[in-house]
Structure 1
Amino acid sequence: MNREKMSFPQVMVTGEQSIRFQFGEAINQETYSYVQAFSQLIIKRNHHLLAEIVPSYHAVTIYLKKEVANSSLLIDELLMLWSMREVFTPTQLTSRQFQIPVCYDEKFSEDMDRIINITGLSREEVISLHTTTSYTVYMIGFLPGFPYLGELPEALHVPRLGKPRLLVPKGTVGIGGNQTGIYPLESPGGWNILGRTPLDLYCPNRKEPFLLQAGDYLSFVPIPIEEYRELEHQLAREPEAIYDLVKEESRCESI
């Protein structure tokens, strides 16, 4: 699929009050850049019928405040807006960049041996690859605040567990297929456990309960278990201190 064709979405009415705009099938940064730009464009438009905008890997689903008699009129309006977007200048996307501390100690890396056996990498190589990559938060789902992150280096692609665990601890960092993710709450799960972060990605006691959102970027920073314990205790006392620890920065790019 060429770039011009991919940049124009396919449209599906998915319910009485929902419409999906899909930019191809691939899960990659190029496709997601169109998802981001389309989402931001609609948000800026602030259409009176729109209740919620939900981006995912390669699509944007909009939810309406009420059922409309002729959804094709709204679809045509949004597609026209998209086709006429900033004709003479590139679309500027502004995102947040975070650094997430992760402890890869044996206590927190239950599936490291499995990962090593499948990939042929050493423990040090696995950690190095995982921490020297910048990941896109493609979507939030499965659990409150759970980020689906890509793209994982190909050398770290490992199938998910054949039998999911009944309980994965909060803060667990795992990999599966071409993605990595962080469990914000205790939950069943089938990802390969690689490490653990002391950060609460979801904390109802904070001013902003969710740390991450779709479109953010992040990288992992390895820390020893002693630092993990210190941060865990600090954040239990001061939940808002998390924003001083993740070193949030702005990231701007053009498409």
Structure 2
Amino acid sequence: MNKSYEQLPEAMITGENSLRFSFGSGVEKDTYYKVRKFCKIAEQHSGHYFQEIVPSFHTVTVYFNKELTEPNEMIERLLTKWIQSKEEEAEPMERKLRIPVCYDDTFSLDMDRVISHTGLTREEVISLHAGHTYTVYMIGFLPGFPYLGKLHERLATPRLPTPRDKVSRGTVGIGGSQTGIYSLDCPGGWNIIGKTPLELYVPERKEPFFFQAGDQLEFQPVTLGEFHEISKELASDPEEIKRFIAD
């Protein structure tokens, strides 16, 4: 049996109509594959029992209709389906994205703070940040905001002691051991190291949310001139964002 299935997730009743299934701790790609697989199984066999299925980095919370089923019955049902699922289905298909990021001084407001904390040069910070493939583990806390993993450990930098009142959408930051992109203007305390010209959330676009859980993305450094050129192109035709999907 595939190692992904040797150990059942830990099931816990978390409320009168909610269950949580835990696949360990930490931010690991293999763990997240299990989370996504479990969500797919739950969706396929939910029928009219489930109200909502909520994944995180390493857990799945299921909200069910308490009038139609008992918690222990639902746990048994889902764990049985998990055991029966085919191992070749364990790893869902992924999209690969190339995200242009401008690390120019115009946008990298906290680059010096990251350099001071890590002991790296500016070039090393950019090289490490852009030279890695990240998994989109989930979308939140803003519409379209991607939680990414894993950041290179040498780049980890504590959040700002005092958050900014406003961080502009498209801003790329480092917060502790994570990196992410602000999808909307909002307050924020992550260290700002760059900005992407891509609009991650556009309600009028055919697909309003650019990122999907499970996406694999790489940051591609661009110059300030290239940043403005891409911004202009996307303002003219928001659907052109699709060209940053590698496959």
What TM-score do the two structures reach when normalised by structure 2? Answer: 0.92
Equivalent-residue separation in structure 2 for 1:117 and 1:137 (angstroms): 28
Q: 1:69 Cα deviation (Å)? A: 4.5
Q: 1:57 Cα deviation (Å)? A: 0.5
Number of residue pairs matched by the alignment: 245
More off after superposition, 194-203 vs 53-62: 53-62
Matching residue of 2:29 = 29
Matching residue of 1:56 = 56
Distance 1:247 1:5, change over 3 A: closer
Matching residue of 1:253 = none
The C-alpha deviation readout for 1:226-246, integer Å capped at 9, x for no partner, is 1111111221121111112x1
More off after superposition, 190-199 vs 77-86: 77-86
Q: 1:123 Cα deviation (Å)? A: 0.6
In percent, how many aligned pairs have the same letter?
Answer: 51
Matching residue of 1:168 = 167
Asked whether 1:117 is paired with 2:111, we answer: no
User: Is the Cα–Cα contact under 8 Å of residues 172 and 195 in structure 1 kept in the other structure?
Assistant: yes
Secondary structure class of the residue paired with 1:12? strand
Secondary structure class of the residue paired with 2:143? coil
Matching residue of 1:247 = 245
Matching residue of 1:252 = none
Secondary structure class of the residue paired with 1:152? coil
The C-alpha deviation readout for 1:128-151, integer Å capped at 9, x for no partner, is 100110001111111111111010
Equivalent-residue separation in structure 2 for 1:171 and 1:15 (angstroms): 37
Structure 1 segments, 4+ long, off by >6 Å, are 3-6
Secondary structure class of the residue paired with 1:94? coil
User: Is the Cα–Cα contact under 8 Å of residues 7 and 34 in structure 1 kept in the other structure?
Assistant: no
User: Is the Cα–Cα contact under 8 Å of residues 6 and 23 in structure 1 kept in the other structure?
Assistant: no
Distance 1:66 1:206, change over 3 A: farther
Distance 1:19 1:132, change over 3 A: same
Matching residue of 2:100 = 101
The C-alpha deviation readout for 1:158-215, integer Å capped at 9, x for no partner, is 1111111110011000011211000000010111001000111111010111111221
Q: 1:55 Cα deviation (Å)? A: 1.4
Matching residue of 2:205 = 206
Show structure 1 runs of 5+ residues with no match: 250-255
Show structure 2 runs of 5+ residues with no match: none
Q: 1:6 Cα deviation (Å)? A: 8.2
- RMSD of the alignment, in Å? 1.9
Distance 1:65 1:216, change over 3 A: farther
